[in-house]
Amino acid sequence: MTTPTEPLADLPTRARQILAELGAADAFAPDGDLVAVSPVDGSELGRLRAHTPDDVTATIGRAHTAFEEWRSVPAPVRGHLVRELGELLREHKELLGELVSIEAGKIRSEGLGEVQEMIDICEFAVGLSRQLHGLTIASERPGHRMMEQWHPLGVVGVISAFNFPVAVWSWNAALALVAGDAVVWKPSEKTLLTALACQALAAEACRRVGAPQELSQVVVGGSAVGEVLVDDPRVPLVSATGSTRMGKLVAPRVAARLGRCLLELGGNNAAIVAPSADLDLAVRGIVFAAVGTAGQRCTSLRRVIVHESVHDDLVARLSKAYGTLSIGSPLEPSTLVGPLVDAAAAEAFLGAVEQAQADGGRLVTGGTRADGVSGGQYVVPAIVDMPAQTDIVKQETFAPLLYVLTYRDLDEAIALHNDVAQGLSSAIFTLDVREAETFTSATGSDCGIANVNIGTSGAEIGGAFGGEKETGGGRESGSDAWKAYMRRTTNTINYSTELPLAQGVEFG
């Protein structure tokens, strides 16, 4: 642990310098009602003016006009825009990564990793721009051919959470832009500056390739701003990332106008540790997944379900590893655990630790406030050994709090694993091929992501990302997630002189 250090007086200045270098110098409004705060030391980075509902409606209108032009641009040419965006991100990776650390409190390596993820998805999307394939389908009628095409959808509304302040936008925007859509993004009110920086880069990419300027836009504010995107029928797809609470508010409103939702909501991710597990590997995988990003990833590991024969050994090893974690300013190269996003997050962490103990849990390590940078919310990552999966264990506490549960046979472990409302990410540590295959089979993990001998967090962009149950069912990023951003048409072409009806129907 570090000793407390003084607030970092230069963070607001540094944030301004970075914004200026990224082309977003005019972001601030001194009398603005939104305050950008750094979780590193609680300092005010600047003020911005929230968009009004009328502003958002007008922005959607401009995005729709841009879409009408963009949809006619051939997809491989649309790829040029995303290639340019990827180049700009590569050029400015250091600066944007630093801004992510300042505004979201991620350690430097994770801030840079998030920007790398943006570059990766841009590369993926550029390749995709030549592969938006439909099928050709055998017709049952002579002289006929069936085919499908994928067409641009319209304006995509992106609502994002604080913990991946830039990557989530890029997962959506890179695919949406090659798909021929326009994007209106409402970032978290906790991470405004990184959004404005991305928007400046997207605008520059549009300028460089001559794409419509209003293809990519940002609107800032709280839930009222998001709600305008949710309710506007000119937004055929709302891609919303955040808490399950938010998803339950957004989904029915989009459904009421028969729009489409892509939901990426909360997780309560678990790893099973079997008797045959390589415990060295398991400990490394568990520690990164549980305390990386200070436990503030949707895929953070929250539950370990360990076989009784290796329970004591694993808990002792984890406790030892937790004892070596350096907690403090995320801008210090040696730090592994940065701050929680705000005071409410720290209170939720402390409250959950207390509740788990009231439920009979044994606090193995951590669970208190930590020294860190004065003004920030720093905590000591906790492990609580639980006698049962009580209500608090079934909730997502967005902090570095790991519950340990014990099992006797794999069926029991899988039942415990699946007995939560969320279904995002999961893992098993085992060297037994039967256990590994069972876990990833239809009767195993019920999550959207099921890993073997690797932790629950840190997904690559090549796979489809998302989860089941209260995680919302959406899939973003790789594989065929692009289909959510397009509309499919089925075309039947008759090149004969006859008009046979399907299913042999005779008419007249």
For residue 216, the 8-state DSSP code is: E
For residue 45, the 8-state DSSP code is: E
Q: Which is nearer to ligand NAD, 164 or 429 (CB)?
A: 164
Residues from 125 through 154 that contact ligand NAD (CB under 6 A): none
CA 33/CA 221 separation, integer angstroms: 9
Residue selected from 51, 186, 302, 303 as contacting ligand NAD according to rule CB under 6 A: 186
Residue selected from 146, 147, 249, 364 as contacting ligand NAD according to rule CB under 6 A: 249
**Which one of the spans 36-44, 145-153, 185-193, 381-389 is the region binding ligand NAD (CB under 6 A)?**
185-193
CA 373/CA 42 separation, integer angstroms: 9
**Which one of the spans 36-44, 141-149, 245-253, 492-500 is the region binding ligand NAD (CB under 6 A)?**
245-253
Q: Which is nearer to ligand NAD, 247 or 366 (CB)?
A: 247
Q: With CB under 6 A, what is the number of residues at the site for ligand NAD?
A: 29
Rg over CA atoms, the chain:
24
In 3D, which of 320, 301, 297, 304 has the Cα closest to residue 366? 320
Q: Which is nearer to ligand NAD, 129 or 244 (CB)?
A: 244
**Which one of the spans 26-34, 106-114, 244-252, 324-332 is the region binding ligand NAD (CB under 6 A)?**
244-252
Catalytic annotation present for 264: yes
Chain centroid to Cα 312, Å, comes to 34
Residues from 290 through 319 that contact ligand NAD (CB under 6 A): 298
Torsion sign over Cα 190, 192, 197, 198: positive
Which tokens go with 132?
């938006």
Within 13 Å of residue 102, how many CA atoms lie on the same side as its CB?
Answer: 28
User: Which strands form 155-159's sheet, in the order they lie side by side?
Assistant: 216-218, 182-186, 155-159, 237-241, 260-264
CA 121/CA 465 separation, integer angstroms: 12
User: Does position 164 bind ligand NAD by CB under 6 A?
Assistant: yes
CB of 335 to ligand NAD, least distance (A): 22
Residue selected from 220, 424, 427, 447 as contacting ligand NAD according to rule CB under 6 A: 424
Active-site residue, selected from the candidate residues 114, 189, 227, 264:
264
Cβ neighbours of 40 (radius 10 Å): 27
User: Does position 157 bind ligand NAD by CB under 6 A?
Assistant: no
Q: Is residue 406 a contact partner of residue 311, using CB atoms and an 8 Å limit?
A: yes
Residues 6+ apart with CB under 8 A from 135: 147, 148
User: Does position 250 bind ligand NAD by CB under 6 A?
Assistant: yes
**Which one of the spans 88-96, 202-210, 221-229, 308-316 is the region binding ligand NAD (CB under 6 A)?**
221-229
**Which one of the spans 64-72, 137-145, 183-191, 313-321 is the region binding ligand NAD (CB under 6 A)?**
183-191
Q: Which amino acid is at 251?
A: A
- Characterize the bridge pairing of strands 136-137 and 144-152: antiparallel
CB of 105 to ligand NAD, least distance (A): 13
Within 13 Å of residue 75, how many CA atoms lie on the same side as its CB?
Answer: 20
Residue selected from 267, 295, 367, 458 as contacting ligand NAD according to rule CB under 6 A: 267
Residue selected from 84, 103, 189, 214 as contacting ligand NAD according to rule CB under 6 A: 189
Residue selected from 175, 265, 356, 382 as contacting ligand NAD according to rule CB under 6 A: 265
Q: Is residue 433 a contact partner of residue 384, using CB atoms and an 8 Å limit?
A: no
Residue selected from 420, 471, 477, 485 as contacting ligand NAD according to rule CB under 6 A: 471
Q: Which is nearer to ligand NAD, 249 or 350 (CB)?
A: 249
CB of 351 to ligand NAD, least distance (A): 16
For residue 268, the 8-state DSSP code is: -
User: Does position 57 bind ligand NAD by CB under 6 A?
Assistant: no
Residue labelled with tokens 């989860």: 467
CA 425/CA 437 separation, integer angstroms: 16
Binding site for ligand NAD (CB under 6 A): 159-164, 186, 188-189, 222-223, 226-227, 230, 241-243, 246, 249-250, 264-267, 298, 396, 398, 424, 471
Q: Which residues are catalytic?
A: 264
